[in-house]
Structure 1
Amino acid sequence: MAPTLYMSEISPSCRAVMMTARILGLTLKVKKIDLCKNEQLAPNFVKINPQHTIPTLIDNGFVIWDSHAIISFLIGKYGNDDELYSKDIMERALIDQRLHFESSVINNFTRTILNPMLYENVKIDIEDHKESIYKTYALMEKFLRCFPWIAGKKLTIADLSLIPAITSLNVVLPISKQDYPNLSNWIERAENLPCYVENQNGLNQLRDLLQKRSCCCPC
């Protein structure tokens, strides 16, 4: 039986899981949760995940949430090798560091900028956040100074996790290729991955919804 994934394509974290599943050739039974309608608070879902967050995965009765935990689990159970999540202690430490960077830094922008705009219909002045976002882009630029992928020479789950997050932030505050060439090239490499389609679908929805929210916000 295929694992069940509770998700929303707009969510960068959910897209990370979908990209991982696609690259593994794994079919997921997708159940969409509409955050705009607070479907994550439905009693049946809260019973599955008391934290009522997405993505949430159920695999043969095993329930797990948080995208980083999910993609690590999927690689461990369904991956044919350790290419995406190296077992080498130093390589894995670097991958984990990038994942924690995404969790603590990038996801903060999702919580403070994207989520209020998308689900609370709050008008956010991006000017108030430009400096911190540009500092984050600058850090990513340095991470990518020596290698083509975020944690080294090979694509890893750190890339699969960060790609949806950074490209979503790029929708809000575009990344200048002149100022951030390494970061821009990394995004272009990601766009050529077969699994990127799982990110593109959600990005399109994100742009459409943000545009709709912007048009509806009172001036």
Structure 2
Amino acid sequence: MGSATSRLSGTGLKHCTLWKADRSPACRAVMMALDSMNLSITEVDINMDKGEHRTQEMINLNPLQTLPVFKDRELVICDSHAICTYLAGRYCDSGRLLPQDPGGRSIVDQHLHYNSSIIYPRFKAAAYPIIYESCNFVMPQQIADIDGTYSDLECMLYKRTWFGGSWATLSDIVFASTVSTLNVMVPIDKEKYPRLSSWLYRISDELYFVTANRKGLCEFSRRIDCSSVFDDTEFKCPRSSLARRGQQLKESNLEETR
């Protein structure tokens, strides 16, 4: 499986906690960022179907009642893009995920803003009626908007292997969580968008995609197809990011041997 066979390791940050729901692409972006940096923190699964993100404890942390929520000692951050850049700036010294030069950093920032202002709202407009309002299909306008997103991303990849340049950055991680989710609802046309399709295939083979994105993506797909709620028996919280990575890689390897 290419890089997915890499040896697992992790730097433990016991003073950090992430409250998350795997079906959320925003949460999966943070989890992929953690795994790409080999960081291990305490992760707590929140059952959104039972309204656990609206408990008083969670409201005290995040009045907006959204996920993910990240806490590093007394610092609380409630936006996935801000969490990813904080983790990369605070705990990753290589400068590969988040370039240290102003030019490279501005490109990543530009992509994160595009994701938060354009792609994610289009995801919500298409997915929320199905998840929360018993709608059985993606509306034509949402299909057109998502296709427009694919067109934009295809153009961004012109003469590029990765969105950030020669290697994967936070741009690719954040886009991967959202675009792979959109692809469940509106499959990417490989003939129309060959660069985007190739990029998604390539990043889906990265270890952090396998350990942090696949499970939640399958959960989202089941929810879209069957309107099934999350099974509480799958909850194992709190647990470390390293434990999650090991479990997901083990399950992925078992699936490949069947």
What aligned pairs does 1:193-212 form with structure 2 within 5 A after superposition?
A: 193-197=206-210, 198-212=212-226
User: 1:69 corresponds to which letter in structure 2?
Assistant: A
> 2:20 is matched with which residue: 1, 7, 11?
7
Q: What are the superposed Cα offsets for residues 32-90 of structure 1, whole Å, 9 maximum, x if unpaired?
A: 11222221111111011111111110112221110000001111121132111111111
**Normalising by the residue count of structure 2, what TM-score does the alignment of the two structures yield?**
0.79
Deviates more, 1:144-153 or 1:109-118: 109-118
> 1:180 is matched with which residue: 187, 193, 196?
193
Shift of 1:110: 2.3
Check whether the contact 1:58–1:64 (CA below 8 A) recurs between aligned residues.
Answer: yes
Shift of 1:3: 1.4
Equivalent residue number for residue 146 of structure 1: 159
| Inter-CA distance 34–46: structure 2 relative to 1 (3 Å threshold) | same
Equivalent residue number for residue 97 of structure 2: 84
User: 2:93 corresponds to which letter in structure 1?
Assistant: N
Which structure is higher in RCO with an 8 Å CA cutoff and minimum separation 6?
Answer: 2
Q: Give RMSD over aligned pairs.
A: 1.4
Equivalent residue number for residue 247 of structure 2: none
Across the two proteins, how many residue pairs are aligned to each other? 214
Structure 1 residue 158 corresponds to structure 2 residue 177 = no
Q: What are the superposed Cα offsets for residues 64-119 of structure 1, whole Å, 9 maximum, x if unpaired?
A: 11000000111112113211111111111111111111111111122212123223
Equivalent residue number for residue 118 of structure 1: 131
- Partner SS for 1:85: coil
Check whether the contact 2:70–2:78 (CA below 8 A) recurs between aligned residues.
Answer: yes
Equivalent residue number for residue 104 of structure 1: 117
Q: What are the superposed Cα offsets for residues 149-191 of structure 1, whole Å, 9 maximum, x if unpaired?
A: 1121121111111101001000000001111100001101101
User: 1:171 corresponds to which letter in structure 2?
Assistant: V
Structure-2 separation of matches of 1:100 and 1:62 = 22
Structure 2 portions without partners, runs of 5+: 1-13, 229-258
Equivalent residue number for residue 9 of structure 2: none
Equivalent residue number for residue 191 of structure 1: 204
Equivalent residue number for residue 131 of structure 1: 144
User: 1:212 corresponds to which letter in structure 2?
Assistant: C
Structure-1 separation of matches of 2:138 and 2:116 = 23
- Partner SS for 2:70: strand
Structure-2 separation of matches of 1:121 and 1:69 = 32
User: 2:225 corresponds to which letter in structure 1?
Assistant: Q
Identity among equivalent pairs (%): 32
Check whether the contact 1:4–1:29 (CA below 8 A) recurs between aligned residues.
Answer: yes
Check whether the contact 1:45–1:52 (CA below 8 A) recurs between aligned residues.
Answer: yes
Deviates more, 1:122-131 or 1:150-159: 122-131
